[in-house]
Amino acid sequence: MSRFDINKANEYIHKWQEILRLRDWDIKLYEVKQEWRKTGDIKIDENDRKAIVMLNNFNPKQDNLEALMIHELLHLKLWGMDQMIEELIEKVFGSDIDDKKYEFAYKKFMEVLEPTVEDLAKGYLSLGGDKKEISFGRVQKQVDKELGL
């Protein structure tokens, strides 16, 4: 059984593609129907200006579909900067993912990128979202687990 309405997800992609000025991108939705550690992700072909938003419809950790679509589209919006910083990390620290310096720099970058994208998504959601409430998904699961709910 699907948790999210795929048609609604596509509506949100088109709505926020306009708002975020991503009109010149071809964006497709892919529904993940198997065990997967993420709620969503986006794969990007910058040269061809195509992207696929992957949506976990098996066991999502997020309950606000619109917030999730905004979050993934913001990754597309910030893709150029993301890639520039990753390239800089490789130039300075090399590309050996087992090297502690590379691992440290990359981890620190991700610790800044993800919360920034999430904060921006919450801001956009509060301004133009249908359901403005934010999801407490992961942290609510921690509370439920601790209380045996």
Q: Please report, in angstroms and rounded to a whole number, the separation of the first and last CA atoms in the chain.
A: 22
For residue range 41-99, list pLDDT tens digits in order: 999 999 999 999 999 987 767 778 999 999 999 999 999 999 999 999 999 998 888 88
User: Per-residue pLDDT for 119 more than 70?
Assistant: yes
User: Quick one: pLDDT at residue 39?
Assistant: 87
User: Of residues 113 and 1, which shows the higher confidence score?
Assistant: 113
User: Per-residue pLDDT for 1 more than 60?
Assistant: no
User: Per-residue pLDDT for 140 more than 80?
Assistant: no
**Other beta carbons less than 10 A from residue 24's beta carbon:** 7
Six-digit token string for 70: 């905004």
